[in-house]
Amino acid sequence: MADRLVPPLIRRHPDACAVLLVVLVALGMRLGFGLRVAPFISKDSQSYFLPAWDLVHSGDFQLGLRRTPGYPAFLAGLLILLGDDLRGIVLAQHLLGVGTAALTYWLGRLTFGRMAGLGAGLLVALSAPLLVYEHYLLTEALFGFVLTAALVALVAAWRRPTPRAWLLGGLLVGAVSLVRPVGQALLPLALLAALGARTTREGASPSSVVRRHAAAIAFLLAGFALLVVPWAVRNQLTHNLAGASTFGRTLIARTASYDRGFVFYDEADPPQDPDPRRVRARQIIQHGANRRESDGDIAGRLREELGLGPVEVNVLMRELAIEAILREPVHFVAGTLRFAVRIFNGLEMRIREHEGERRDVTWQERTRHLLVTEPRAEQDFRAASQLLRWYQPAWYAPLPLVLFAIGLAAALAVPAWRPALLPGTAAVVLVLASAALDGPQERYRYPADPAISVLVMGGLAGLVGLALRLGRAAHGAGSLRPAGGRALPSTRAGRAT
């Protein structure tokens, strides 16, 4: 009886069944992993968690210049709902991961079709990097969820444009930007999508086309501004910084910590700078670059020796980094491409390494007690490690990159797949921006994994479609060949070809 009921059920509700399969796989993976391993902590976790903790327990909210408020606000909400338990936070992030897998299905469904969506959703559900970084007190889980939701909304608006759809897309792009500053790179792509969307029926007047495109852009910008502008105004009033964030430290990390090809101070040819503080700043940065110091260590020395405030330090670091880049633009571009490939390929995930990073982090006294957890049995680590073996993208490099490129080419070639250009371009821009502004931080790829998985499955769909067409063409030509081997002229053969 069940065998006769299941196929009709799937035929009547294919999308619901596909989403259910993706959700069940994602949920099983995340419960199996999340309940066996203690929460992961990195050196950046405290800069997000402490503002959330202070907001909940004292009403104070002090956030670093580089940070945006999305993830600390999310953590504060979880602390209020779940109490002071890091395990509850990471389990909530794993539930976000389940939602991300479901959204990935819809992103693939709206671009390359149902089978590509199902394949991409299952890749995200099984992805070892996503499992691991959903277990960190870092922005990856929230950023990946909101980013994928924004891409789904923008693709849906592209396919069926309405003012409400563009407003929702703008709101989600604003939310992406408040979770991680690099999300602002999504706004120009959203504006291009609004310009490229089919907003009118055939035969509409040019003035009507212009008005509809203008309305789409206006609603998109209104949604974005509704979330981002208040935070930018707050930064201007508090720090005299008109923007959602600053990237001075990240540029120094990119040019001084991760790359040895830039010169900030040359003793053989000292810079002609009338400001002695800038000369000393160049020396400090060069010294840090020679010793491979972190951007935080360099920023600390600049504050201590030059007596600068956080805003002044970030502005100075940004200016000197840009000067160094402009002196070596070819090296910067080459290094960015090299780092981008490294980010795209990713790293193999091993639980022991991330557990070791957790033990090496020193937290403030007021929250240190939260790191105390009961010891886990060795069998728990082995079981969790087995879950990471289902899908490690780094094992297959460079195949995902090749399929991704084929997916982009297929989206350009096939009009029905054209909306896939938005998630594909978004993934490229985010990876390149991370490589250009931060350096080879492989974890910055993982929030873009849903978009990457969709393009990978789209590339596979394009190859399968091409193979089928070539097979049909060869079969049609072969059936018309006489014994001598020459093909007979035929209208049918021309159509098959």
Do 323 and 341 reside in the same domain of the chain?
no
Say if residue 5's pLDDT is above 90: no
The parent domain of residue 317 ranges over 262-327
Do 434 and 312 reside in the same domain of the chain?
no
Encode 149-184 in three state secondary structure: HHHHHHHHHHHCCCHHHHHHHHHHHHHHHHHCHHHH
Sign of CA dihedral 483, 485, 487, 493: positive
Q: Looking at 274, 300, 327, which one is the last position of a domain? A: 327
Q: Given this model, what pLDDT does residue 497 score?
A: 30
Q: Given this model, what pLDDT does residue 209 score?
A: 76
d(CA 83, CA 80): 6
Do 192 and 296 reside in the same domain of the chain?
no
Say if residue 434's pLDDT is above 80: yes
d(CA 113, CA 465): 13
Do 204 and 299 reside in the same domain of the chain?
no
Classify residue 462: in a domain, yes or no.
yes
Say if residue 364's pLDDT is above 90: no
Classify residue 417: in a domain, yes or no.
yes
Classify residue 391: in a domain, yes or no.
yes
Q: How confident is the model at residue 485 (pLDDT cuts 50, 70, 90)?
A: very low
Say if residue 9's pLDDT is above 80: no
Q: Given this model, what pLDDT does residue 472 score?
A: 84
Do 235 and 100 reside in the same domain of the chain?
yes
Q: Given this model, what pLDDT does residue 478 score?
A: 61
**Which of 29, 179, 176, 15 minimizes the C-alpha distance to 98?**
29
Q: What are phi and psi of 479, to 5 degrees?
A: -70, -15
Say if residue 153's pLDDT is above 80: yes
Averaged pLDDT of the chain: 86
Number of folded domains that form the chain:
2
Which secondary structure element, helix H or strand E, spans residue 106, and what is its range?
helix 86-111
**Which of 214, 220, 162 minimizes the C-alpha distance to 188?**
220
Q: How confident is the model at residue 208 (pLDDT cuts 50, 70, 90)?
A: confident
**459 compared with 439, residue with greater pLDDT:** 459
CA 51-52-53 angle, 5° bins: 90
Do 358 and 278 reside in the same domain of the chain?
no
CB 295 within 8 A of CB 257: yes
Classify residue 481: in a domain, yes or no.
no
Instruction: Give the alpha-carbon dihedral of 329, 333, 339, 345, to 10 degrees.
Output: 180
Q: Looking at 277, 299, 327, which one is the last position of a domain? A: 327
User: Mean pLDDT across the stretch 468-490?
Assistant: 62
Do 310 and 375 reside in the same domain of the chain?
no
Classify residue 448: in a domain, yes or no.
yes
User: Which residues lie below 8 Å from residue 385, measured CB to CB, with a gap of 6+?
Assistant: 350, 351
d(CA 307, CA 77): 37
**Which of 155, 167, 146 minimizes the C-alpha distance to 221?**
167
Do 234 and 135 reside in the same domain of the chain?
yes
d(CA 444, CA 438): 9
CB 494 within 8 A of CB 438: no
Return the DSSP state at 258: S
Residue at 402: amino acid letter:
V
Classify residue 486: in a domain, yes or no.
no
**397 compared with 495, residue with greater pLDDT:** 397
Q: If you write DSSP's letter for every residue of 231-247 in order, what string do you get?
A: HHHHHHHHHS--SS---
Do 169 and 76 reside in the same domain of the chain?
yes
Say if residue 104's pLDDT is above 60: yes
Which region among 259-263, 285-289, 361-365 has the lowest average model confidence (pLDDT)?
Answer: 361-365
> What percent of the chain shows pLDDT beyond 70?
90
Residue with tokens 């849903």: 450
Classify residue 160: in a domain, yes or no.
yes
Do 58 and 145 reside in the same domain of the chain?
yes
> What percent of the chain shows pLDDT beyond 90?
51
d(CA 109, CA 277): 56
**109 compared with 320, residue with greater pLDDT:** 109
Which range among 195-204, 355-364, 457-466, 488-497 has the greatest average pLDDT?
457-466
For residue range 106-124, list pLDDT tens digits in order: 999 999 999 999 999 999 9
Q: How confident is the model at residue 257 (pLDDT cuts 50, 70, 90)?
A: confident
Q: Looking at 281, 296, 327, which one is the last position of a domain? A: 327
Say if residue 490's pLDDT is above 60: no
CB 94 within 8 A of CB 134: yes
Do 214 and 162 reside in the same domain of the chain?
yes
Say if residue 92's pLDDT is above 60: yes
Return the DSSP state at 1: -
Classify residue 343: in a domain, yes or no.
yes
For residue range 417-432, list pLDDT tens digits in order: 999 999 999 999 999 9
CB 95 within 8 A of CB 108: no
CB 336 within 8 A of CB 433: no
The three-state secondary structure class of 137 is coil
Q: How confident is the model at residue 99 (pLDDT cuts 50, 70, 90)?
A: very high
Do 115 and 16 reside in the same domain of the chain?
yes
